[in-house]
Amino acid sequence: MSKQRLGNKLYEVGEKYDFYWGFKDTRFELKENGVLYINGDRYPVSGCELPDFMPYIQELLHIDVDTKHPREESIKTPPPAYINKPFLSEIQKLFSEHKYSFDDRVRLTHSHGQTTANEVFKVLYYELQRVTDMVFFAEEEKDIEVLINLAKKHDVCIVPYGGGTNVSCALQLPIDERRMIISLDMRRLNAIEWIDKNNFRACVQSGIVGIDLERKLQEQGFTMGHEPDSIEFSTLGGWIATNASGMKKNRYGNIEEIIETIRLLTPRGVMEPMVGFPRSSMGMQPQQIILGSEGNLGVITKAVVRIRPLPEHTKFGSYVFRDFDTGMNFLRDVAQQDVLPSSIRLMDNLQFRFGLALRPRGGRWSYIKRKLEQFLLTKGKGFDLRKTVVVTCVYEGTHFELTTQQKVMSRFAKKHEGISAGAKNGQRGYLLTYLIAYIRDFVGRYHVFGETYETTVPWDRVLEVCKRVQEEAQKQHKKYGFPGTVYIAPRITQLYRTGVCIYFTHGFSTHGVENGEDKFILIERHMRKTIMDSGGSISHHHGVGKIRSMFVKDLLSSASRDLLKKVKEFLDPSNIFCISNNIFDKS
């Protein structure tokens, strides 16, 4: 089997779940003694018992989790596919059967992303309102050209599909679309067509999954460096379509800084720069509208990306600070420096304790060591474990670069009375990011709901946004009568000189509340509006999709909206690409 790299460890690539997040060989389970266990061997806590996790959840949410009666899946068979017979007749003549499917489970899988209430819970426990009619597996660009021409001829819709990890309802199909909808699965277009080692460029097909792209580049001594939380499943095309960001953006840049040229197939024809340069002042550049296009304009088939030699060294680090304000002030000082670690993230106290709750059961000496560390932190340094926060970081580069990065972090940590928590804790904190969605699926079985929001915020608004979001979550929790208390935990995941990306995790129990998930959909809108009213952006890297589309009209002038609609009308006059995200959402 092929291998995938997370941090500095290689893992075997496995089979992905259809509806849940993640690999089939990795699941959180409760043992008979009530202790949480994660199977497999992919992650730092895999194969371990986690005795502190369930008590942490119950204490945090002030609830008693009924572990004896988990929710049972109730996956509904979708309605029969609507078939455009003339279109299907031509498909059957031109393509072999392994390139398309009408299987119900395949159709369902390709009809949703990973938004919790709107999509995952609907497919697992209720019913999706609209399901794709056919799934087409493109294996070469010519397949897509033929498919688009047939769709134009027979008035059929196409929805591009990559890794299925989207969390903005961008894959949610329009309910009122009566035409036949084809989900175009791009993951068989997964090759690196060429690598230009002299100029540090590579031409990559858009359906490649991030972890496979990194593996193939690393075999040649290079990296693209784009490492979002979803790197195990998301694709290059999806990153471009959502204008994504990765955890190591300090060193490698956001996706728009990594991409050199993009090839987009539209009903009008091909959009692609004729040549690529490191930079070119050629006037207005149409390519820019492809970034963040969210499937509205056509199909991204490939891109030329900028690559870098593999770093000579990779090390992890971590620091603890007295409270969130102190940690944020540390980050603000660090962000103004010219030398930064590849990744720097601040987790609030709830997530600091969350990390402690996910520590595996150890032996006697492990327990003694942990208690000694806590004693030294609280009694020796005067830290309060109910306020302590943690910063994790990844250092990459030459020995000189790592030394310089570490000196910068150490200097400002000392200024803000931070204490080094070591490389091991930094690595655990970094890799635990990959487990968050698995945990969401596990707690969802016990009526504990989890969702995330991300936004960009100027430095002087960070604390206000966090405060307002916490207050709004409590207000909505009380309004709808949910049991226990609400969990709102911010973490700062990306730094800029002028501000940060804040990533909120929102959790609570819906047990005993009728239509709790539907009520959360309403709450979610209030939460996103609160973020924006407090000074945050509509999104930092997840995009708009449908879940934020109602806010776009307030962010773009009428001339800007009209321009984008004219672009859509020109490239796709029959609305073949019907997904209707962003300003094109009519719901």
User: Domains in the chain, start-ordered, CATH in brackets?
Assistant: 85-121+130-186 (3.30.43.10), 192-309 (3.30.465.10), 446-550 (3.30.300.330)
pLDDT at 6: 52
Q: C-alpha 355: how far from its chain's center? A: 20
pTM, rounded to two decimals: 0.95
Report the distance separating Cα 331 and Cα 389, nearest Å. Answer: 12
CA angle 317, 322, 324 (to 5 degrees): 85
Report the distance separating Cα 275 and Cα 262, nearest Å. Answer: 11
Do 165 and 113 contact (CB within 8 A), yes or no? yes
Please give the single-letter amino acid code of residue 293. S
Report the distance separating Cα 323 and Cα 155, nearest Å. Answer: 58
pLDDT at 3: 47
Residues 6+ apart with CB under 8 A from 343: 247, 248, 250, 392, 393, 394, 430
Do 578 and 179 contact (CB within 8 A), yes or no? yes
Please give the structure tokens belonging to residue 136. Answer: 């087409």
Pairing type for strands 181-185 and 157-161 reads parallel
* Secondary structure (3-state) at 129: coil
CA angle 573, 577, 580 (to 5 degrees): 100
Report the distance separating Cα 262 and Cα 249, nearest Å. Answer: 20
Do 512 and 448 contact (CB within 8 A), yes or no? no
448 beta partners: 509
Asked if 503 is an active-site residue, the reply is yes
Please give the structure tokens belonging to residue 349. Answer: 């106290």
* Secondary structure (3-state) at 442: helix
Do 390 and 356 contact (CB within 8 A), yes or no? no
Please give the structure tokens belonging to residue 410. Answer: 């150490």
- Catalytic pick among 17, 446, 487, 503: 503
Q: What's the half-sphere exposure (Cβ side, CA atoms, 13 Å) at 570?
A: 9
* Secondary structure (3-state) at 507: strand
pLDDT at 528: 95
Please give the structure tokens belonging to residue 238. Answer: 């999806």
Q: C-alpha 244: how far from its chain's center? A: 9
* Secondary structure (3-state) at 508: strand
392 beta partners: 318, 345
pLDDT at 230: 95
pLDDT at 385: 85
Residues 6+ apart with CB under 8 A from 84: 154, 155, 156, 179, 180
- CA-closest candidate to residue 457, choices 488, 503, 416: 503
Please give the structure tokens belonging to residue 499. Answer: 């501000």
Do 380 and 388 contact (CB within 8 A), yes or no? no
Do 145 and 265 contact (CB within 8 A), yes or no? yes
Report the distance separating Cα 313 and Cα 557, nearest Å. Answer: 47
- Kindly tell me the burial class for residue 339, based on how many C-beta atoms sit within 10 Å of its own C-beta (0-12, 13-18, 19 or more): middle
Please give the structure tokens belonging to residue 7. Answer: 């941090």
**Digitized pLDDT (tens) for each residue of the chain, 587 residues in all:** 344 455 544 445 678 888 999 999 999 999 988 899 999 888 888 899 999 999 999 999 999 988 888 999 999 999 999 999 999 999 999 999 999 999 999 999 999 999 999 999 999 999 999 999 999 999 999 999 999 999 999 999 999 999 999 999 999 999 999 999 999 999 999 999 999 999 999 999 999 999 999 999 999 999 999 999 999 999 999 999 999 999 999 999 999 999 999 999 999 999 998 788 888 888 888 999 999 999 999 999 999 999 999 999 999 999 999 999 999 999 999 999 999 999 999 999 999 998 888 888 765 555 545 655 666 677 677 888 889 999 999 999 999 999 999 999 999 999 999 999 999 999 988 888 899 999 999 999 999 988 999 999 999 999 999 999 999 999 999 999 999 999 999 999 999 999 999 999 999 999 999 999 899 999 999 999 999 999 999 999 999 999 999 999 999 999 999 999 999 999 999 999 999 999 999 87
Backbone φ and ψ for 506, nearest 5 degrees, come out as -120, 120
